[in-house]
Amino acid sequence: MDVRLLRIDSRLLHGQVATNWAKAISVNRILVVSDRVAQDVMRKTLIMQAAPPGIKANVITVEKMIRIYNDLRFISIKPMILVEDPVDAKRLVEGGIKITSINIGAISFDSSRVMVTDTIAVGPEDVKALKWLHARGIRLDVRKVANDSSKNLWKSLLDKGLVKDF
Amino acid sequence: MTRREKILKYLEKYTTSESQSATTKEIAEILGILRPNVSKELNQLVREGRVKKMNGRPVRYFILKLNGGQADEPFEQKPTVGFAGSTVITSEVENDALNSEIAETADVFTNMIGAHDSLKNQTEQAKAALLYPPHGLNTLIIGPTGSGKTYFANNMYQFALGKEIIAKKGFTTFNCADYAHNPQLLMSHLFGYVKGAFTGADVDKDGLIQEADGGMLFLDEVHRLPPEGQEMIFYFMDHGTYSRLGETAKMHHADVRLICATTEDPESSLLQTFVRRIPVTIQLPTFDQRSPREKLQLLQRLLTLEANRIHKNIRLSEDVVQALLGSVTYGNVGQLKSNVQLVCAQGFLNSMQNKKEISLKFSQLPPNIKDGLSHLANNRHELGKLTRLLEPVMIIKPDFNRGMPEIDSYELPYNLYEIIGDKAALLKDEGLNQASINNFIMTDINLHLKSFYRQGKLDKTVNSLNEIVDQEIIDLTKKIQRLLQEKESYPLRDSFIYAMSLHISSFIKRVQSGKALRNMSADLISMVHDYPDELRIAGKIKDLIEEHYRFPIPQSEVYYMAILLVSLRSEPKTGKVGIVVAAHGNSTASSMAQVVSQLLSVDNIVAYDMPLEMSPKIALDGIAAQVKNIDRGNGVLLLVDMGSLSTFSSKLSEKTDIHVKTIDMVTTAMVLEAARKTALIDSSLDIVYRELREFAGYSRTIGKVQGENNYSPNLPDQKNKAIIAICSTGEGTAKKIKELLDKILIDNLIDDITVITISVVRMKKQIAEVQQKYQIVAATGVVKPKIAVPFISLENLLQGGGESFVGLIEQVNKRDIHSVDSLENSELLTEETAQKYLSQYFTFINPVKITKILWDYSDFVQQHGHFEMSNSFRISLIMHLAGAVERYLTRSEMSVDEQKLSEAQSDKMYPIIKQANEMLYETINIKLSDDESYYIVALLNTEKEKSNTLKK
């Protein structure tokens, strides 16, 4: 399985933004990976409906994502993977999914999180996961759509004093 | 004044006796009418007995003075149809109808042959459908070529007129096959168009639907309607509104009763949609299915029709009657009508000199009709019954109260007898002798009738099959099918073509690739031993294949073929899901069940009445007995009227070993819906149950929890899941199915189900083995195994592209996915839902305040942009808009390059988005940038593109 993009976006698959990505990096499948959404019939249906024409979207659990990634039967799938937060992204990488960079679109704010950029908020668990990913040399790439100029989230985290370089 | 009247008037004035007669030429010159036309009218008048023709040349004519009587009907009118001798076999009902005008006008169906016999149910259905409040139910008439669909529809119309159910006189007919190759043209005929909809559309034009407003519209061969048309018709059925070609909004309204008709097998996938969407299905019997008495009545009525046309009696002997009845092969009553016309035309020619009567002789019948006698003789039982009804000679007299010609496709567009009369006169004028005249005209008649014969279109769609099997093999299989049906009268199921061609295909591939031949196991030999017939027929199939491919076929293959035949035969039509209606009250349940089974003519409903004082124990036993009674192997749906009864289902299953699902609401509408849904083949209990729950529109926790707990066979079972694919060898077809299913499974990211192939020969043992290791969740293949799992037939698997399988698998995996449909129809998708989602995902906006504004925004786009929005797309759009607003607030708007932006600005949606943005600015002072507008337009276009590809 050739993972074309791993994107963190708490809205997962929605609207034109995801379609824009899917077209820009030519994928044949959109995999929305979230334990929570996989149980939520309504959201699951909405997400599957929101897939761009010609590309199928599935909503699966983290465990299943790792299982099919390591299953040779699914070798021909070239997916864009969408996860809700850095914690799920970390679980995927731990499970063996190989990538060199993670795209971060938006992480929505809640009371446990602080804003790092205008669209990204992180909490302590997120920071832990992002540190872990950074330590493995994975680039934390901030872009809304494919042709935006890329920013490094690590730099923003440093600026905010949430992480330290050694 | 018509031509005929002019001529009559002239004749009355100037030609009152032999001495004052006129020739055709004279009349033609004086009246200024073309000579052939005058000749034609004169011949007609002579035939009617109003004008007398004198012998000699040129022929002279003069008017016949009648003794005060009406000149138009020179023949006695009653008794009407009868035999030489005194026996009259018209049915009592018919006589009653004839004797009392009132009875006839009260109910046209009474006059229909078989209304109290083979068409009893059908006429009851038709009446119920027409009278069903408030507006009646749309109806689908199914019947083979020539079984009388148009005639039946016409009678329904007459009935509706008589009962004053329809407002206006009008029975509009449209044959969907007429324009099947040009869907646009078809649609424009049906729905009309607006000026400019296409080249040549210079003015607005109403379609047939509008024309039929207040009346009835008959859509013949409705299965030929292209998908777009079906969609619009269904929409029209549901809402009563439609759009003309070139319009986007469905704003035209028409009040039309629809009757559809088709020759298609109701179980074909083509028709499934229709059967699903049209509430009442009326199945007309074939000619063979009718009783000998009815067949005879039909023949008499058709002969009366001809007698009326020629104004002569028709005399026919017993063997001619038998030959005519036996001559009906595939074309039913329609074919009989054509054949009657043929022999009457011939008889007319042979008895031209006889003014009173024509006589049909067996020796003079055309060979294909003579064959009818031997055809009939093959069926001794039938022949015996018929002979008892027959007299040596039958005489049919003209009768205008009956047998008025109907407008149908078997009616010749011209008067054949006039042509014969004219032509014979002409040829005689030319001086030809009688023998050559007869010869000449007979050829002519044959030509006329042949060109007119409409053959049934028997091309079934096997399109998805030929994607996996060579057309050559499909053709060969069809040849085999014909052989079996014609020569062997071997009963075959619809799936024969599928199963046999797949089997042959895999065998041929095996031979061609040089693989070892299959060996014959002792099991196989002993199994085939019990089926000598199949083995013999398999031998014939072998000969055909050998002849086609010119290589020898080993005996083992014949054995496997025999097994395949056995399995194709032994399986009766998949049993329907049974329905048990149980309700409190002395007859509540049985009256509901009766209404529904009559209305839909289904046989899978039984009722159980429970008087209030009945103890639960007795009720349970009683219901259990009914469950057993109605189960056909596919489970039983229990409809009950009180929640407490729904707890029965677990006990019932224990008692009966039959899957039972309970719905604790029972109304006539619910029973109707349940009957409709279960009437389709391969409707599984689970699917019907789920759909019905949605139909009721509210959740019922007791039933649901009970049901789910009892029937999810996989709950305690931790074994791996498997689907079994069955074919005769377990190697050919089954392997193909496995490949197909594996692909579907992968495509749907299902990794926990294995597909296992199984041979019919050792099916029981193999299944038991599989069950040791796996939990079997579904089965497919040439035969349905006797295990309690959903079965998908080969045709459905191949035609449906396996999508149904996925639904099934999802269900098995307990990921109870609501279908998109239910989401679209649900009331859940309201502003509150949108608001809930917004609050979950956005930081800076206040969902309580913004949701209404964005909802209005999407309404605006929908209305002004003529953009039909699905509920789920509306949510998408609102989410996107909220994102745009938030990006505006955080000054992090998205950007797009110049070129794309300018492309979007020429888009017709762009100005509408701009206007909508303006609204946003007015209400909340937020001005979306052009770049953001680009993304909104792009989102709309993506959606449009998607719905277009879906339609294709």
- Range from A88-102, B431-445, B805-819, B903-917 that averages highest in pLDDT: A88-102
In chain B, whose CA is at the least distance from the CA of A40? B817
B876 with A46: Cβ contact below 8 A: yes
Q: Write out pLDDT tens, residues B415-425.
A: 677 777 777 77
**SS3 of residue B761 by DSSP:** coil
Report, as an integer, the average pLDDT of B124-134.
Answer: 83
pLDDT of residue B894: 78
pLDDT (0 to 100) of residue B260:
92
Find how far residue B742's CA is from the centre of its chain. Answer: 33
pLDDT at B95 over 70: no
Question: What sign for the dihedral angle of Cα B469, B470, B474, B476?
Answer: negative
pLDDT exceeds cutoff 70 at B600: no
With beta carbons less than 8 A apart as the criterion, state whether B520 and B567 touch: no
Q: Contact B924/B882 with Cβ under 8 angstroms?
A: no
Q: Integer distance in angstroms from the first to the last C-alpha of chain A?
A: 35
Residue of A44, A49, A67, A85 best to disrupt the B interface, most CBs of B under 10 A? A49
Chain B residues inside the 8 Å CB shell of A44: 817
Tell me the two tokens of residue B80. Answer: 């009407």
Q: Does residue B193 form part of some domain?
A: yes
Please indicate, yes or no, if residue B215 is contained in any of the structural domains: yes
- In chain A, which residues have their Cβ closer than 8 Å to the Cβ of B815? 38
B125 with B159, same domain: the answer is: yes
Do the Cβ atoms of B818 and A11 come within 8 Å?
Answer: no
Bridge-based pairing of strands A101-106 and B774-781 is unpaired
CATH no. for residue B189? 3.40.50.300
Provide the Cα torsion B450, B452, B455, B456; round to 10°: -160
Residue B817 pLDDT > 60: no
CB within 8 Å: A15 and B879: yes
Close Cβ partners of B52 (under 8 Å, ≥ 6 residues apart): B18, B46, B61, B62, B63, B64
Q: What are phi and psi of B772, to 5 degrees?
A: -60, -45
Instruction: Tell whether the model's pLDDT for residue B91 goes beyond 90.
Output: no
Task: Tell whether A109 lies on the interface with B, counting CB pairs under 8 A.
Answer: yes
Regions of chain A where pLDDT drops below 50: none
* For range B145-165, the mean pLDDT: 86
Read off the pLDDT of residues B492-521 as tens digits, 9 standing for 90 and up: 665 677 778 777 877 777 777 766 666 666
| B597 against B921, higher pLDDT | B921
pLDDT tops 80 at residue B685: yes
pLDDT of B863-889, one tens digit each? 888 888 777 788 778 888 888 888 888
Both B757 and B851 in a single domain?
no
Whether residues B625 and B655 fall in one domain: yes
Omega within 30 of 0 (cis) for the link into B554: no
Same domain, B480 and B497: yes
* Contact between B876 and A50 using a beta-carbon 8 Å cutoff: yes
Strands B313-317 and B393-396: antiparallel
CA distance B667 to chain A (A): 29
pLDDT for the residue numbered B806: 67
Q: In chain B, how many domains are there?
A: 7
Question: What is the average per-residue pLDDT within B230-242?
Answer: 85
Please tell me whether residue A153 adopts helix, strand or coil conformation. helix
Please report whether residue B152 resides in a domain: yes
Distance from CA of A61 to the nearest CA of B (A): 12
Contact A118 B890 (CB under 8 A): yes
Residue B69 falls inside a structural domain: no
Element (H, E) at A152: strand A151-152
Higher pLDDT, B603 or B793: B603
Phi, psi dihedrals of residue B299, rounded to the nearest 5°: -60, -45
B250 vs A: CB within 8 A: no
Listed residue (B197, B194, B195, B225) closest to B210, CA to CA: B194
- Which CATH number fits the domain A5-159, given the four candidates 3.40.50.300, 3.40.35.10, 2.60.120.10, 1.10.10.10? 3.40.35.10
Q: Are B98 and B401 in contact (CB under 8 A)?
A: yes
pLDDT class of B802 with cuts at 50, 70, 90: low
pLDDT of B90 above 70: no
Closest partner CB to A15 (pick from B891, B939, B945): B939
Tell me the average pLDDT across B597-621. 79
For B32-81, how does the pLDDT look when each residue is reduced to its tens digit (9 = 90+)?
A: 787 778 888 888 888 777 888 776 667 788 887 654 444 444 443 333 34
CA–CA gap between residue B370 and residue B323 (Å, rounded): 6
pLDDT tens-digit readout, B168-217: 767 888 888 877 777 778 888 888 888 887 777 788 888 888 888 888 99
Nearest to A45 among B833, B872, B879 (CB): B872
CA distance B825 to chain A (A): 13
Residue at which a domain ends, from B659, B677, B711? B711
Residue B668 in any domain: the answer is yes
| pLDDT of res. A5 | 92
Establish whether A14 is a catalytic residue: yes
Chain B nearest C-alpha distance from A111 (Å):
10
Is B75 a member of any domain?
Answer: no
More confident residue, A102 or B729: A102
Q: How confident is the model at residue B409 (pLDDT cuts 50, 70, 90)?
A: low
CA distance A73 to chain B (A): 7
Residue B92 included in any domain: no
The Cα–Cα gap between B264 and B270 comes to: 8
Residues B392 and B489 in one domain: no
Residues of chain A neighbouring B846 (CB-CB closer than 8 A): none
Chain B CB contacts of A73 under 8 Å are 742, 746, 751
Residues 6+ apart with CB under 8 A from B571: B493, B783, B784
B448, pLDDT greater than 80: no
State yes or no: pLDDT of B364 exceeds 90. no
Residues B886 and B902 in one domain: yes
Q: How far does A124 lie from chain B, in Å, by closest CA? A: 18
Local structure of residue B467 (DSSP, 8 states): G
Rounded distance, CA A107 to CA A87, Å?
12
Q: Is residue B274 located within the same domain as residue B127?
A: yes
| Nearest C-alpha in A relative to B932 | A16
Q: Looking at the complex, does the CB of residue A114 fall below 8 Å from at least one CB of chain B?
A: no
Q: Which residues of chain A neighbour B807 with C-beta distances below 8 Å?
A: none
Q: Are residues B477 and B411 in the same domain?
A: no
Tell me which range, B301-305, B427-431, B480-484, B554-558, is most confidently predicted by mean pLDDT: B301-305
Kindly state whether B843 is in contact with chain A, defined as any CB-CB distance less than 8 angstroms. Answer: yes
Pairing mode of beta strands B393-396, B81-83:
antiparallel
Cβ contact (<8 Å) for A53 and B897?
no
The confidence score (pLDDT) of residue A82 equals 93
**Beta-carbon-side half-sphere exposure of residue B632 (alpha carbons within 13 Å):** 22
Question: Which residues, other chains included, contact A36 with Cβ-Cβ below 8 Å and sequence gap of 6+?
Answer: A84
Region of residue A131 (left: phi > 0; alpha: psi -120 to 50; beta: else) = alpha
> For residue B592, which of B690, B669, B484 has the smallest C-alpha distance?
B669
Q: Is the pLDDT of residue B105 over 50?
A: no
Q: Rounded mean pLDDT of chain B?
A: 76
When mean pLDDT is compared over B684-698, B787-801, B883-897, the highest value belongs to B883-897
pLDDT at B803: 61
Residue with tokens 């019905």: B692
Check residue B8 and give its pLDDT.
83
Cβ contact, residue pair A15, B876, below 8 Å: yes
Residue tagged 């995999």 (tokens)? A31
Q: What is the pLDDT of residue B713?
A: 38
Per-residue model confidence (pLDDT) at position A62: 94
Burial class (CB in 10 A: 0-12, 13-18, 19+), A114: middle
Same domain, B544 and B484: yes
> Which range of residues forms the domain containing residue B683?
578-711
Structure confidence at residue B74 (pLDDT)? 41
**Three-state DSSP state, B484:** helix
Tell me, what's the ipTM?
A: 0.81
- Amino acid B259: pLDDT: 92
Answer whether B186's CB lies under 8 Å from B225's CB. yes
Average pLDDT over residues B429-440: 75
What's the pLDDT at B643? 57
Is residue B38 within 8 A of residue B24, CB to CB? The reply is yes
B15 closest CA partner among B6, B5, B23: B23
Indicate yes or no: CB of B746 within 8 angstroms of CB of A74: yes
Q: Which of B545, B570, B595 is the last residue of a domain?
A: B570
Strands in B139-142's sheet, in edge-to-edge order, are B171-175, B216-220, B257-262, B139-142, B280-283
Res. B805 pLDDT band, cuts 50 70 90: low
Percent of chain B with pLDDT over 90: 3
Between A88 and B812, the more confident residue is A88
CATH number at residue B889: 1.10.1790
B471 vs B115, B481, B496, B510, CA distance in Å? Answer: 44, 15, 15, 18
- Write down which residue in B428, B452, B476 finishes a domain: B452
Residue of A7, A8, A14, A40 marked catalytic: A14
Burial class (CB in 10 A: 0-12, 13-18, 19+), B366: middle
> Which residues 21-80 on chain A approach chain B with CB closer than 8 angstroms?
31, 38, 41-42, 44-46, 49-50, 52-54, 56, 58, 60, 64, 67-68, 71, 73-74
